[in-house]
Structure 1
Amino acid sequence: MNHHYKKGKLYEKRAAAWLTVQGYEILEQNFRCMLGEIDLIARENGELVFVEVKYRSNHMTGTPEEAVTLNKKRHISNTALFYLKTHGKNIFTACRFDVICIDDTGCRLYQNAFEYCGTFRI
């Protein structure tokens, strides 16, 4: 296992713990399928929440927010659709996409960070 992978998993666990304190119920960590991966899947206020966790130790390669590109959003959205279909949900399931950005300045949560990511709306 490489250093970046281990560090990413550490920050995903920290984000899950932080979200739990904020009232989220963590349902799954690191959901994987052939379409991609979703870092955290949770429930909050009756909504299913797909959470992307981004960490940067410095901003030499950009901020964590800048790492959530349109292409990344499409992959997450497609993976979320697969999750919904394989877990007995449908496109009318109340859900949203949150992003947690972590760097040396702290942790920032962006709720409902993206809605429309390509050819479908969840």
Structure 2
Amino acid sequence: MDAAPEPHTGWTFLTNHARVLAAIADNPNVRIRHIAAHCRLTERAVQKIISDLERDGYLSHVREGRTNTYQIEPGMVLRHPAEAGLPVAALLSLLLQDEVDRSTATDQLSAKRQRIPVEGG
């Protein structure tokens, strides 16, 4: 059995439910252990979150052999009154685009660092 990931201290902008949903949106056939590692959660916590999301209609799955294929309901609206009417698809498009932007930004930053001469060396 894998060791539990180190807990995160302090506050974050996203809930664990949003992180799990984004991981599933990125790969509908993802395994729970991979979601747990990516989100720094235990497998049990991910199972509970998936159960919550399925119970409330945001997510469903089909079992294919030993693999689950998840289906997100993109038209479901976010639960908090401050985001009333905003569909899950809008949140996921931001989160998934952020992953692409983050990779691009990291590549651009690395390229800039390679071109900057170091003085005094």
TM-score, normalisation: structure 1: 0.24
Quick check: which has more Rg, 1 or 2? 2
Higher relative contact order (Cα pairs below 8 Å, separated by 6+ residues): 1
Task: Name the structure where helix makes up a greater proportion of residues.
Answer: 2
TM-score, normalisation: structure 2: 0.24
